[in-house]
Amino acid sequence: MPDAIPNDSVGLVTPSTQHFEQSLTLESGLSLPSFDLVYETYGELNAKKSNAILICHALTGDHHVAGYHSMDDKKPGWWDAYIGPGKPIDTNKFFVIGLNNLGGCKGSTGPMSINPATDKPYGRDFPIVTVKDWVLTQTMLADALGIDSFAAVIGGSLGGMQALQWSIDYPQRVKHAVVIAAAPKLSAQNIGFNEVARQAIRSDPDFHDGHYYEHNVVPRRGIKLARMLGHITYLSDESMRAKFGRELREGKINFNFDTEFQVQSYLQYQGESFVDRFDANSYLIMTKTLDYFDPAKEYNDDLAKALEKTDTRFLVISFTSDWRFAPERSREIVKALLDSNKSVSYAEIKANQGHDAFLIPNTDYQNVLSCYMQHVEDASQ
């Protein structure tokens, strides 16, 4: 392994594409004639095929969960801190799969893909997908890889919602669900923030009703605003205070509208850099996926009832300073699991980074996850 790559990394990895030449009917009633899912794997599938772990990504994540694509990569996959040899999700023991969800913009079929009906990109015509749809397509990927049952499905934020949905829709195919920094459904405030982000994108004159690809533009202004706003909700007031406070870029106020405070500079940078790495239509779809998630709905708003039939065992994790999906929201999940007599471990991790904490190295979090993964390993033998 090259010198520049740390020893506890999964190393250089290459994404694969699984093509599904079959029509897929979505929860909306719409269907796709065929589709691709891009995925990566780390570690080896054992002979019993009992050590597979599925990692589900959050709003703007993708299949590149761990390792490096090339020696030039500045950063590894988005959850590299937690996946690798000797790490909490130990690739010496587990066969780990990360995928880009349907509707995404990192290789799986989504709004940027060519719509065979028109020979043009789907754009806004790409159907809105749900967490349930994602989980269905994930079972299809599992089938293609010969995996009957996952040792665990794991995810943070929107990824945690997928883990929860797995336990409801396919309890026989998932032994453990690790639901991190999630919520059983979005609050009005959560939906409100999503709506502002969507309005920012959709009201950008370069949006062209979602068919901006054909105009060779992207709704830069809108996607930048959406990301700036998103970022505030990913951080905590406390972490922003610690990171930026009221620090001024030039040490003084200039009485103009230039970027004066460091926090302005940070948010603008985050917004700008997002424009080049994420598709606006995918962002619109995935915020809707979040808004729609509500597994208790078809059980008369009773989450315990929704979880009644599952045999999956659960680890639920929340972070003290997370106000996007606060610990109270995780406790709703825990309470529903207890009410339906399920096996659940719960840890509220002290962390000041807000919602982002689920992505960041933290000893308590690592220990809790490592410890639970030991149980998962024991159960997968």
**Binding footprint of a second copy on the chain (CB under 8 A):** 27-30, 124, 127-128, 185-189, 191-193, 195-196, 198-200, 202-205, 221, 224-225, 228-229, 231-232, 235, 237, 240-241, 243-246, 253, 255-257, 260-264, 267-268, 271, 284, 288, 291-292, 294, 323
Place of tokens 């078809």: 298
Active-site residue flag, 378: no
Cα three-residue angle 145-151-154, rounded to 5 degrees: 95
CB nearer to a second copy: give 261 or 299: 261
Least distance (Å) from a second copy to the CB of residue 283? 12
Taking the CA atoms of 315, 319, 325 and 329 in sequence, report the sign of the dihedral they define: positive
Least distance (Å) from a second copy to the CB of residue 243? 7
DSSP string, 215-280: GT---HHHHHHHHHHHHHHHS-HHHHHHHTTT-BTTSS--SSSS--BHHHHHHHHHHHHHHTTS-H
Active-site residue flag, 187: no
Catalytic residue among 157, 282, 321, 330: 157
- How far is it, in rounded angstroms, from Cα 284 to Cα 347? 32
Least distance (Å) from a second copy to the CB of residue 335? 17
- Residue 39: in which H helix or E strand, if any? strand 35-42
Cβ–Cβ under 8 Å, residues 124 and 211: yes
- How far is it, in rounded angstroms, from Cα 117 to Cα 346? 48
Active-site residue flag, 3: no
Cβ–Cβ under 8 Å, residues 186 and 290: yes
Which residues are registered as beta bridge partners of 180? Answer: 156, 317
Give burial (CB, 10 Å; 0-12/13-18/19+) of 270. middle
- How far is it, in rounded angstroms, from Cα 262 to Cα 267? 9
- How far is it, in rounded angstroms, from Cα 375 to Cα 31? 39
Q: Token pair of 334, please? A: 């825990």
CB nearer to a second copy: give 12 or 304: 304
Tell me the three state secondary structure of residue 216: coil
Catalytic residue among 90, 133, 204, 322: 322
Least distance (Å) from a second copy to the CB of residue 232? 5
Start-to-end C-alpha separation, the chain: 29
Least distance (Å) from a second copy to the CB of residue 7? 37
Rg for the chain, CA atoms, rounded? 21
CB nearer to a second copy: give 169 or 294: 294
CB nearer to a second copy: give 244 or 299: 244
Least distance (Å) from a second copy to the CB of residue 143? 26
CB nearer to a second copy: give 288 or 305: 288
Least distance (Å) from a second copy to the CB of residue 264? 5
- Mutual orientation of helices 262-275 and 220-234 as an angle, nearest 10°? 130
Return the C-alpha torsion angle 259, 237, 163, 65, nearest 10. 40
CB nearer to a second copy: give 142 or 357: 357
Catalytic residue among 57, 176, 231, 355: 355
> Any idea which residues carry the catalytic annotation?
157, 322, 355
